[in-house]
Chain A
């Protein structure tokens, strides 16, 4: 959509393409990732009776900027025994994977990188791209901690894709679409039309769906938590066991890429959940723009609501991180294979039956 407007405006598809590609990076991802780093430190500080960064800029708001600038200026160590091509390409892969997911995330009804018909599946597919990068990084580092971390990570992310996908399939059964914009529009107007509350359909089925939607939401939240390696599933980078996990050997900008990718990923999965279960960019109470008849206000409102929903889930991820201990690797697999997947299956089955009804 933006691409079409721009290419007709500029008369050149390549320039328009580049602009469209860079727009989300500079408009959304980088500012967001930087803000999330700061938020994480502030949230953790307030949870722990501390103040958090407050010397760099007003109340420390420039802290992540300083971090990133400093990391860019650091020496970039490539140890002599690493597999250099893989070592260098791994952070790029991880960063690309999490960045590419943003292409299909509908921030508003008009601002979206690409209106993919397969948007939902695309996000899931592209974010598991990250595994390849992590595995490469861990393997090529020639460090045992990195290797164990990478192996754990691969096993974990691949396992947790399954419950995530099963839940997504239940949504596809109900809505019949994988296009995220359509999906968001499906849950339009008010919050009782959200998927978590049974979607916009009427009648008994809607109320019957609610408990299963809640179960589905819990499952997908847990498994996406595991997919982005957050506590209590942060065993690939478990600090007390594996030093820093798969990025033990990375320094400088390459580490910054891993670092920012983690936060970008957190937002990507939160955005996915918000879109699938909580109406995406739709406002819960109707639009001021509609009320006052100002049409251009609506996309801004949508952006606001989308950010609020996405950031809320990011905040919950941080909240969990600073509260819970970490699971062990076998327990992690138990949670996935013995609890989440069977429940997701049963959920899928029942929802399917209900939809047929």
Chain B
């Protein structure tokens, strides 16, 4: 008599230590082999798009912060960028430089959390705390500038809520100088750790054609080998004035597009962000940051899709304006949401532990997946 076997269905989440929030994965298991993954999202659906329809254009900014709460500055920049295009506002140079500095600082902070929690997923606890120490320093810079640690409401349509603190430039320089060695120590502690490489190399390989078909963007797409970065390809703000590289996955320890590549692209991106910040600090012009803030935000009728490069990928806002002070419809293109959809395709046939590694390398934030 043949032995009857049955697949086991394992429910991960919504409360699970490594689903990075309230994601639920229904995993079909054959022993420890993953046969299929069915993600269930929506446990943090906070109705952003409904709120955006009820608010005026500037009032939407605090809600935009709460989309991907790790990268609030980048979200604001993206939304404000769309609104300014819609209204045709010319923004002073100083404002643009400050925006770039803030966005890049926030990119580092976001990547630090991504890398730290990824270490946690793999089982290394200490790098997580080291990452948080550096992140706290960035947050204190933000706090000095606008008074908030996480959700800033700092970048306004046409300007900023505050000018820089007089000490900001000096302290940021200090931070960037001290941060570079920290990247090296993170590499020594985690990136080149033999066990870490064993766990992540050749795991969850995402081929480039699949990535494009799934609409994957950001570090995930770059890890699969495509040089695609909106800061270079479609420069917004003043990104065309800086000299920086786009790191891509090279398959250094495994295959191009594996988990280690996705991890390491983020490490390299932090270095590039530090480069951009240093250049921007050197070029920072003087000027008034409040001069272009419109008294009344009432864009003309029309539709626009504007996008920027967020730490997680391409964040876009599709705004339908009917000529009133409230947006008629704001549709977000959430990078985490679209990146997450690929998990079933790349995790077939791996082990449960690999599934965690793959999920961590996608770097999702549920606030953005569910909006």
Q: How far is the CA of A145 from the CA of B11 in the complex (A)?
A: 10
Query: What residues of chain B lie closer than 8 Å to A144, measured between beta carbons?
Result: 8, 10
Instruction: State whether A329 and B32 are in contact (beta carbons under 8 Å apart), knowing that A48-B129, A144-B8, A238-B353 are contacts in the complex.
Output: yes
B302 within 8 A of A: no
Which residue on chain B has the smallest CB distance to residue A324?
B195
Contact status A325-B126, CB under 8 Å: no
Q: How far is the CA of A44 from the CA of B10 in the complex (A)?
A: 32
Q: How far is the CA of A107 from the CA of B124 in the complex (A)?
A: 34
Which residue on chain B has the smallest CB distance to residue A50?
B129
Nearest-neighbour CB distance to chain B for A95, whole angstroms, equals 26
Interface segment among A160-168, A229-237, A254-262: the answer is A229-237
Query: What residues of chain A lie closer than 8 Å to B198, measured between beta carbons?
Result: 327-328, 331
B351 within 8 A of A: yes
Query: What residues of chain B lie closer than 8 Å to A231, measured between beta carbons?
Result: 123
Interface segment among A112-120, A208-216, A239-247, A347-355: the answer is A239-247
Q: How far is the CA of A241 from the CA of B198 in the complex (A)?
A: 17
Q: How far is the CA of A331 from the CA of B353 in the complex (A)?
A: 11
Which residue on chain B has the smallest CB distance to residue A239?
B17
Q: How far is the CA of A324 from the CA of B189 in the complex (A)?
A: 8
Contact status A325-B351, CB under 8 Å: no
A148 within 8 A of B: yes
Contact status A328-B354, CB under 8 Å: yes
Partner of A232, one of B119, B190, B195, B351: B195
Q: How far is the CA of A47 from the CA of B128 in the complex (A)?
A: 12
Contact status B356-A325, CB under 8 Å: no
Query: What residues of chain B lie closer than 8 Å to A145, measured between beta carbons?
Result: 10
Q: How far is the CA of A324 from the CA of B32 in the complex (A)?
A: 23
Query: What residues of chain A lie closer than 8 Å to B32, measured between beta carbons?
Result: 148, 329
A338 within 8 A of B: no
Question: Which residues 60-98 of A have a CB within 8 angstroms of B?
Answer: none
Nearest-neighbour CB distance to chain B for A156, whole angstroms, equals 13
Contact status B352-A325, CB under 8 Å: no
Query: What residues of chain B lie closer than 8 Å to A239, measured between beta carbons?
Result: 17-18, 123
Question: Which residues 1-49 of B have a CB within 8 angstroms of A?
Answer: 8, 10, 16-18, 32
Contact status A240-B123, CB under 8 Å: yes
Nearest-neighbour CB distance to chain B for A290, whole angstroms, equals 44
Contact status A326-B195, CB under 8 Å: yes
Query: What residues of chain A lie closer than 8 Å to B303, measured between beta carbons?
Result: none
A315 within 8 A of B: no
Q: How far is the CA of A83 from the CA of B147 in the complex (A)?
A: 55
Q: How far is the CA of A326 from the CA of B354 in the complex (A)?
A: 12
Q: How far is the CA of A47 from the CA of B127 in the complex (A)?
A: 10
Query: What residues of chain B lie closer than 8 Å to A328, measured between beta carbons?
Result: 198-199, 351, 353-354
Chain B 130-167, CB within 8 Å of chain A: the 1/0 string?
A: 10010000000000000000000000000000000000
Most buried by A among B123, B198, B352, B356: B123
B91 within 8 A of A: no
Chain A 193-230, CB within 8 Å of chain B: the 1/0 string?
A: 00000000000000000000000000000000000000
Interface residue range, chain B: 20 to 34
Q: How far is the CA of A342 from the CA of B268 in the complex (A)?
A: 40
B193 within 8 A of A: yes
Q: How far is the CA of A240 from the CA of B32 in the complex (A)?
A: 15
Instruction: State whether A235 and B353 are in contact (beta carbons under 8 Å apart), knowing that A48-B126, A240-B120, A322-B125 are contacts in the complex.
Output: yes
Query: What residues of chain A lie closer than 8 Å to B130, measured between beta carbons?
Result: 48-49
Contact status B196-A325, CB under 8 Å: yes
A323 within 8 A of B: yes
Query: What residues of chain B lie closer than 8 Å to A242, measured between beta carbons?
Result: 352
Query: What residues of chain A lie closer than 8 Å to B199, measured between beta carbons?
Result: 325-328, 331
Q: How far is the CA of A234 from the CA of B119 in the complex (A)?
A: 15
B121 within 8 A of A: yes
Which residue on chain B has the smallest CB distance to residue A145?
B10
B122 within 8 A of A: yes
Instruction: State whether A325 and B10 are in contact (beta carbons under 8 Å apart), knowing that A239-B17, A240-B17 are contacts in the complex.
Output: no
Q: How far is the CA of A50 from the CA of B190 in the complex (A)?
A: 20
Which residue on chain B has the smallest CB distance to residue A332?
B353
Q: How far is the CA of A239 from the CA of B121 in the complex (A)?
A: 8
Most buried by B among A242, A328, A329: A328
Question: Which residues 301-357 of A have a CB within 8 angstroms of B?
Answer: 321-331
Contact status B351-A326, CB under 8 Å: no
CB within 8 Å of A: which residues of B?
Answer: 8, 10, 16-18, 32, 119-126, 129-130, 133, 189-190, 193, 195-196, 198-199, 351-354, 356
Complex A-B, nearest 4 residue pairs according to Cβ-Cβ distance, in ascending order? A326-B123, A240-B18, A325-B124, A325-B122
Known: A323-B189, A330-B351; 19 extra A-B contacts, CB below 8 A, are A144-B8, A145-B10, A148-B32, A231-B123, A232-B123, A238-B353, A239-B17, A240-B121, A240-B122, A241-B352, A241-B353, A322-B125, A323-B126, A325-B199, A326-B124, A327-B195, A327-B199, A331-B198, A331-B199
A-B contact pairs, 11 of them (CB 8 A): A50-B129, A145-B10, A148-B32, A234-B123, A239-B18, A240-B18, A323-B189, A325-B119, A326-B353, A327-B199, A330-B351
CB within 8 Å of B: which residues of A?
Answer: 44, 47-50, 144-145, 148, 231-232, 234-235, 238-243, 321-331
